[in-house]
Amino acid sequence: METLIFSVSQLTAYIKGMFSSDPLLHSVYVRGEISNYKLHSSGHSYFTLKDQNSKIRCVMFRQYGQPIFAMQDGMDVLVQGYVNVYDRDGQYQLYAERIEPFGVGSLHLAFEQLKAKLEQDGLFDRAHKKPLPLFPKRIGVVTSDTGAAVRDIINVAHRRYPNIDLLIVPVAVQGKAAAIQISEAIDALNVMDESVDVIIVGRGGGSIEELWPFNEEIVARSIYRSHIPVVSAVGHETDFTISDFVADMRAPTPSAAAELVVPLKTELEQRIAGLCLNAKRAVDMLVEEQRRCLYKLQGSRIMRDPMQLLKDKQQQLDQAERYLLINMHHRMEIKGALYNDLKHRLEAFNPLGALKRGYTMTLDVEDKSLIKSVSELSLGQRIHIIYDDGRAQAEIVDLEVERENDDRR
């Protein structure tokens, strides 16, 4: 019997044909743990699926799209696809067409992953929340123009405030293009020449798949960077989306959003009427108080006889003038007596005063010094003698000293 010899390519092609002809391998579900995950620049995903005993190489081509959740090593997943042989390496591998996290829905996992990411980035911070305007003049509404949500918003808004200005920006609210349209609509409202005061973003109820555009990161980022306050109104009261956490205010339904944003005109009218009534009462009280003050002033003495007040003031002025003169004369008498006393004292100590009483002063001719004793004189010394009415010059020709002992004899 002739031995059949295969080339490597032939053997690989034969084995690949066996895989291709087995209908069981055309669509299989395989559970395992992801390892060595890599997203190539081409858009294809490469990873290994393993369990405790075995592993298999996997690839997911970009035409099948990427899973909505973020794939990570160590994640337990359920992969649906087909098994075949990769010719170049001669290895069989699993060609994935759909991947879901095992035990939990892919949408739920994607929701939790994006929520954790945006929370870490600070998109949910209370400090970033903007207050809603009390009296908006113009409201932007980003939703479908054919759904029940837009009709509910219009009806509630016009019932609460008939002449409110609503700017409807129609967008798709489900499907692949919805997230991009919603994001672009929010950005557009923020750069309009005629800006709106607040934005309502939302839609009516639906499945998680139908509400998913409001869980997209692109929508969340647009809401966060909006300088106009945004109200998220997606689905029913039990529905929660990423948009609800990022928005400045969450409304359980589109109708509730309109009630939150649009003031009730009748309440405003009642409030204005109340303020006007309070203002009128305040003015009336002020007028009445001023009227009482006027009546009191009219009955006062100054209003009855204004000249009498002038006469009283004149009399007070005259009396003050009289007291001032008396006080001034009295103080001048005291100061004059003090002056005379000081004058007499000075005159008593004034050496020139003794000259008037017949005494003289003797000065040395040379140094003009005062001679107080005979002991300061010498024979032939020239002296000045000062009198009250003049002076004379003399020369010492004789000296006689009177001693204290001589006085005692």
Instruction: Write the pLDDT tens digit of every residue in 339-388.
Output: 888 888 887 777 666 777 777 888 888 888 888 888 888 888 888 888 87
| Owner of token pair 């039990």 | 238
304: in domain: no
Q: Are residues 84 and 160 in the same domain?
A: no
Q: Are residues 124 and 45 in the same domain?
A: no
Would you give the distance in Å from CA 227 to the centre of its chain?
A: 16
Which structural domain, as residue segments, surrounds residue 373?
A: 356-396
Report the number of distinct structural domains present in the chain: 3
What's the token pair of residue 352?
A: 């020139």
Q: Are residues 72 and 160 in the same domain?
A: no
pLDDT tens per residue across span 72-94: 887 888 888 999 988 888 889 99
Q: Are residues 160 and 246 in the same domain?
A: yes
301: in domain: no
> Where does a domain end: 263, 296, 321?
263
* pLDDT score of 103: 65
Nearest Cα to Cα of residue 51 among 29, 19, 82, 74: 74
C-alpha torsion 245→248→252→253, nearest 10: -120
239: in domain: yes
CATH number at residue 77: 2.40.50.140
Query: For residue 38, what are the β-bridge partners?
Result: 46
Nearest Cα to Cα of residue 231 among 207, 210, 208, 202: 202
Q: Are residues 81 and 51 in the same domain?
A: yes
**Angle at which helices 178-190 and 217-225 cross, to 10°:** 10
| Owner of token pair 């009516």 | 204
CATH number at residue 169: 3.40.50.2300
* pLDDT score of 104: 60
| Owner of token pair 């294809």 | 44
269: in domain: no
47: in domain: yes
201: in domain: yes
**What global pTM score does this model have?**
0.54
Q: Are residues 169 and 227 in the same domain?
A: yes
* pLDDT score of 113: 86
Q: Are residues 249 and 118 in the same domain?
A: yes
Q: Are residues 246 and 378 in the same domain?
A: no
79: in domain: yes
- In this prediction, the residues of the chain whose per-residue pLDDT falls under 50 are 405-409
Q: Are residues 111 and 240 in the same domain?
A: yes
Q: Are residues 224 and 169 in the same domain?
A: yes
**Angle at which helices 254-261 and 148-160 cross, to 10°:** 30
Q: Are residues 132 and 215 in the same domain?
A: yes
345: in domain: no
Nearest Cα to Cα of residue 156 among 57, 271, 259, 28: 259
> Where does a domain end: 229, 263, 297?
263
Q: Are residues 171 and 245 in the same domain?
A: yes
Q: CB 264: neighbour CB atoms within 10 A?
A: 13
> Where does a domain end: 69, 102, 135?
102
Measured between alpha carbons, how far is 103 from 115 in angstroms, rounded to an integer? 20
